[in-house]
């Protein structure tokens, strides 16, 4: 039986064996008891909701300048009616950006992009990393050597710098930035998967599967890889946080999302010279990035503790 | 120890070759004509033909790679069309600034991070612990460039005309001049000599130079300019170090020998500092080593935000000018620098823990 589908028999207070609880149930139960994970999960739920409903939540179109539509100037400070802004002025709770667009609407649409960036880069890196790590760990020998030495080389670069170098060559743009961040994060996943594969490769149940005539893919995907799921989930959640930060950094440098895309990093980059005159245009996108990254970090830490077998007590 | 260092040195050769291979591949990946990508659009056909022949770009790919390795080994990283200088000149000019910034950031993160982590471990679950961990979580989640801009806003504008006001950009205030320490010391040096190069490199680090030449006015000004960038760049490693110091201390504090030390009647301070902290130090070395890569990457962002003309800033300028040669060269140099730093971290690790070198 593999670890990910492992069941544990629970004793009720009277000591009578009752029912079996899956690892996921235990994890959920442990996760619920960690305040930080709950905070992370809550922020993420709100962000997901915003991302899914941005077109209804946003009061304005994120792309259309309000020139000729409303009496507003570029980089106007936030105007909130409840806080004493005159009713005669249109309400823009986070102010107006340099191209006379509603900053709040752009920020809401940015949530969509940030989550998409986080999930797509990490999925890409996990898929490639898993294949490479599994092949290396399972086959061993020179295949393993070649793959892992290459991973070492990728790890030898400071990750943001390698991403910068890759995007510079591929050309600036969101897709290329995602590809670059995906590539630089592959080694982390390859290592995790390889370690898991190595730890169970010689287990009896794997040998049994082999003796029964299981093919390599069958053994790898059905018997071995489920063991790597736990560390992959933790690594992946924390990896999303890093990916969002790196993508924001690339966009800030002008290498990622290009204007007028409402991406938080590029919104910040576009207005960075206005920090003294229009601080709201720098402050809010940064807060949005930090909150999203914080949420994934909190959830990742919580998951790591909840999935840690060393803390395996059910109560 | 010597065997360990030699073994470790040998094992970094394939990594170095791999780095060269990756940057070489990136160079070949540049869309269009490599000559004009590196020398600029205005390069004439004659210049390009000479360039292509000199760098072996008309030869088969493996031979080109050979040429590339030879050039890097000779320390020839080419020229920048944007700055019309050789990469080496640029490095000597700009690297000291980045080194100074990175060390300042590392210093800040260690000086603040370790005590915070140790205190929150000793006072586990107290308000200090909760606040530190909250701060550590927020610290690793903030984009460096945003934190830099916010610090600049707070300390240069919001706190203007208070004693806490700090300059938001540059390395020295206008009018403050720094004289290289070798001139103050009246050293007879030949410009262009190796010694001159080394001393000039050191003199470009304002803080070190002002200390060596005992110029405290410049020192004060340079430190004031470096505080905000160092804080911005140091926050993420600070958070990582605090977290690691805490968990590592917690683990050590639960050990039997700590209970023994307490049972002997040793004072709390002695138990913490002599018995616990020294043993908790080891994982910290790893975290500090891992942070170095982040510091080098973060320097690009910090230098851009604070207008410091270091290696990171040059990289940013090169990116915007499509100066591929510079991006490629600086990536190699920084990666090699990073490998050497990691080597030093590993060696210090082996020095601290004999089990590693004897393994």
Confidence of residue B353 (pLDDT cuts 50, 70, 90): confident
Of B26, B34, B32, nearest in space to A169 by CA: B26
Q: What is the pLDDT of residue A118?
A: 95
Q: Compute the average pLDDT of residues A21-28.
A: 78
Q: What is the pLDDT of residue A1?
A: 41
Inter-CA distances, B55 with A65, A123, B85, B298, B350, Å: 50, 39, 18, 32, 41
| Cβ–Cβ gap A249/B30 under 8 Å | no
CA–CA min distance A150, chain B (Å): 7
Query: Which residue of chain A has the CA closest to B319?
Result: A168
Mention every residue, 6+ apart, whose C-beta is less than 8 A from residue B289. B341, B342, B345, B346, B349
| B157/A contact by beta carbon, under 8 A | yes
Confidence of residue A2 (pLDDT cuts 50, 70, 90): very low
Query: Which residue of chain A has the CA closest to B326?
Result: A165
| B298/A contact by beta carbon, under 8 A | yes
Range from A69-73, A87-91, B78-82 carrying the lowest mean pLDDT: B78-82
A193-238 pLDDT, tens per residue? 999 898 888 889 888 988 999 888 888 888 888 888 888 998 999 9
Cα separation, A274 vs A271, in Å, equals 5
Of A1, A239, A229, A6, nearest in space to A133 by CA: A229
- Give the rounded distance of the alpha carbon of B227 from its chain centre: 16
Q: What is the pLDDT of residue B291?
A: 85
Confidence of residue A8 (pLDDT cuts 50, 70, 90): low
CA–CA min distance A81, chain B (Å): 25
| A169/B contact by beta carbon, under 8 A | yes
- Mean pLDDT of chain B, nearest integer: 88
DSSP bridge pairs for A17: A11
Model confidence, pTM: 0.89
Cα separation, B196 vs B173, in Å, equals 27
Q: What is the pLDDT of residue A313?
A: 44
Provide the residue count of chain B. 359
| Cβ–Cβ gap A149/B144 under 8 Å | no
> Which residue among B15, B142, B147 places its CB closest to the CB of A156?
B15
Of A253, A250, A169, nearest in space to B324 by CA: A169
B64-90 pLDDT, tens per residue? 888 888 988 888 888 777 788 888 888
Long-range contacts of B99-102 (CB under 8 A, 24+ apart): B99/B205, B100/B205, B100/B206, B100/B207, B100/B208, B100/B226, B101/B226, B101/B229, B101/B230, B101/B233, B101/B299, B101/B302, B101/B303, B101/B308, B101/B310, B102/B233, B102/B292, B102/B295, B102/B296, B102/B299
Range from A40-49, A86-95, A303-312, B160-169 carrying the lowest mean pLDDT: A303-312
| Cβ–Cβ gap A254/B297 under 8 Å | no
Segment 227-256 of chain A within 8 Å of chain B by CB: 241, 245, 248-249, 252-255
Q: What is the pLDDT of residue B347?
A: 85
Size of interface A-B (CB pairs under 8 A): 145
Range from A65-69, B21-25, B26-30, B168-172 carrying the lowest mean pLDDT: B26-30
B289-328 pLDDT, tens per residue? 878 878 888 998 999 999 999 988 888 888 887 777 788 8
Q: What is the pLDDT of residue B92?
A: 87
């Amino acid at each position: 039986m593999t670890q990910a589908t492992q069941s544990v028999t629970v004793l009720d207070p009277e000591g009578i064996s009752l029912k079996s609880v899956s690892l996921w149930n235990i994890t959920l139960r442990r996760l619920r008891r960690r305040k930080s994970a709950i905070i992370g999960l809550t922020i993420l739920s709100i962000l997901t909701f915003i991302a899914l409903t941005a077109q209804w939540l946003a009061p304005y179109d994120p792309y259309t300048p309000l020139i000729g539509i409303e009496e507003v100037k570029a980089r106007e400070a936030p105007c909130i009616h409840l806080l004493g802004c005159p009713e005669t002025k249109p309400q823009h709770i986070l102010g107006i950006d340099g191209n006379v667009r509603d900053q709040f609407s752009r920020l809401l649409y940015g949530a969509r992009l940030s989550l998409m960036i986080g999930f797509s880069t990490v999925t890409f890196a996990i898929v490639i990393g898993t294949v490479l790590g599994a092949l290396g760990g399972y086959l061993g020998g020179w295949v393993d050597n070649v793959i892992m030495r290459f991973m070492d080389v990728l790890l030898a670069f400071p990750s943001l710098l390698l991403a910068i170098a890759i995007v510079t060559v591929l050309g600036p743009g969101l897709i290329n930035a995602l590809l670059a961040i995906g590539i630089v994060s592959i080694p982390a996943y390859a290592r995790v998967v390889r370690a898991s594969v190595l730890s169970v490769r010689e287990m009896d149940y794997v040998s049994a599967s082999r003796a029964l005539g299981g093919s390599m893919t069958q053994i790898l995907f059905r018997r071995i890889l489920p063991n790597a799921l736990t560390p992959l989930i933790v690594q992946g959640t924390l990896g999303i946080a890093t990916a969002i930060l790196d993508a924001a950094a690339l966009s800030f440098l002008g290498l990622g999302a290009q204007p007028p895309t409402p991406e938080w990093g590029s919104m910040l980059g576009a207005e960075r010279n206005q920090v003294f005159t229009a601080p709201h245009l720098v402050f809010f996108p940064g807060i949005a990035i930090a909150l999203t990254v914080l949420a994934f970090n909190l959830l990742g830490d919580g998951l790591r503790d909840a999935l840690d077998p060393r803390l395996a007590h059910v109560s | 120890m010597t065997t360990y260092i030699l073994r470790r040195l040998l094992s970094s050769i394939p990594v170095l070759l791999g780095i060269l291979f990756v940057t070489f591949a990136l160079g070949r990946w540049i869309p269009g004509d490599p000559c004009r990508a590196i020398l600029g659009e205005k390069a004439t056909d004659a210049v390009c033909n000479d360039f292509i022949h000199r760098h072996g770009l008309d030869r088969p790919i493996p031979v080109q790679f050979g040429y590339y390795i030879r050039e890097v080994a000779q320390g020839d990283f080419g020229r920048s069309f944007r700055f019309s200088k050789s990469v080496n000149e640029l490095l000597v000019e700009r690297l000291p600034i980045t080194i100074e910034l990175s060390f300042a950031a590392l210093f800040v993160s260690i000086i603040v991070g370790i005590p915070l982590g140790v205190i929150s471990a000793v006072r586990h679950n107290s308000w200090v612990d909760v606040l530190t961990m909250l701060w550590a979580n927020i610290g690793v989640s903030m984009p460096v460039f945003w934190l830099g801009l916010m610090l600049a806003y707070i300390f240069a504008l919001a706190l203007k005309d208070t004693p806490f006001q700090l300059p938001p950009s540059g390395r020295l205030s206008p009018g403050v001049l720094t004289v290289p320490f070798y001139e103050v010391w009246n050293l007879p040096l030949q410009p262009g000599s190796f010694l001159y190069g080394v001393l000039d490199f050191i003199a470009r680090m304002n803080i070190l130079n002002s200390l060596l030449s005992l110029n405290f006015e410049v020192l004060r000004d340079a430190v004031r300019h470096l505080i905000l960038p160092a804080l911005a760049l140091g926050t993420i490693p600070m958070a990582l170090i605090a977290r690691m110091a805490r968990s590592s201390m917690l683990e050590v504090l639960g050990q039997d020998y700590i209970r023994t030390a307490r049972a002997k009647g040793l004072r709390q301070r002695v138990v913490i500092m002599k018995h616990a902290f020294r043993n908790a130090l080891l994982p910290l070395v790893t975290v500090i080593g891992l942070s170095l890569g982040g510091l080098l990457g973060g320097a690009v962002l910090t230098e851009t935000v604070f207008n410091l003309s270091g290696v990171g800033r040059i990289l940013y300028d090169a990116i915007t000018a499509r100066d591929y040669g510079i991006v490629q060269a600086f990536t190699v140099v920084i990666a090699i620098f990073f490998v050497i730093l990691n080597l030093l971290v590993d060696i210090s690790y082996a020095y601290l823990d004999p089990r590693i070198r004897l393994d």
